[in-house]
Copies of this chain bind each other. A is one copy, B any other.
Amino acid sequence: MTEPVAANDVTETTQAATKAAVFAAAERLFALHGFQNVSVRDITAEAGVNLASVNYHFGSKDALLFEIFKRRTSELNRERARMLHEANDRHQGKPPVREILAALFTPPLKWASPDNDRRISVQFIIRSRSEGTAEMRDALVNDVSHLARFADALIAARPDLPREIVYWRLHFCLGMVHNNRFAEFDRLHVLSDGATREGDTEALLKRMLDFAEAGFLA
């Protein structure tokens, strides 16, 4: 507060840059190698900053993990909600199943494109479902408000189906999305002897929608 403005700006910029470098390095290493397999030393080495930076800027390793988790999931939820909202606008508040599912599938698929710099964020989010801390698991299990909007839209699109059937099918669709991990793509590539190419995001989205839409209309 007593420092000159210019000095403050420089300091804050340096701070922000260090914090951002730690954030990016941690997300990348966590996504690639798993939460427990990455140490604070690995992160600070990758980021080219001091060992104490993690504790200074984030408080602890777990707090850093949770901050990445919060930011990425909230960005993903916001983009999905935006697409659902647009689908609502296009169809007088009652979009068909395929457009609801497109709002669910498209954001993580676009992010996971080989040329997208959010590719690593998707892997981080997927990994957090199985390897997250108790705090993260609690947030995942209990914060379902964004999913509730999708469930409500699907129920409105298929009022003839019992509600619990719709919930189960939404669960199946989420399973399709969560299975899009590097290792699973690799396995599919081996199994199909190279016939499946993960890189074509548009084609994969269409295939997922064809499959899930048909499953919903059963």
Contact = CB atoms under 8 A, between A and B. Distances in A.
A191 B213 CA distance: 21
A131 B129 contact: no
Contacts of A192: 151, 163-164, 167
Interface stretch (A10-18, A40-48, A58-66, A168-176): A168-176
A215 interface: yes
Majority secondary structure of chain A interface residues (helix, strand, loop or mixed): helix
Given A178-B175, A190-B144, A217-B214, A168 B207 contact: yes
A208 interface: yes
Top 8 closest pairs, chain A to chain B, by CB: A175-B179, A36-B36, A214-B218, A211-B215, A167-B192, A215-B215, A164-B195, A144-B191
B141 A211 contact: no
A140 to B, nearest CB: 6
A52 interface: no
Nearest to A181: B130
A51 interface: no
Contacts of A165: 207
Contacts of A37: 36
Contact of A171 (B127, B188, B214): B188
Interface string A185-218: 0111011100110000000100110111111111
A172 B211 contact: yes
A200 to B, nearest CB: 10
A171 B179 contact: yes
Contacts of A35: 36
A179 B179 contact: yes
Contacts of A190: 141-142, 144
Interface string A13-41: 00000000000000000000011110000
A35 B34 CA distance: 11
Interface in A102-151: 126-127, 129-131, 137, 140-142, 144, 147-148, 151
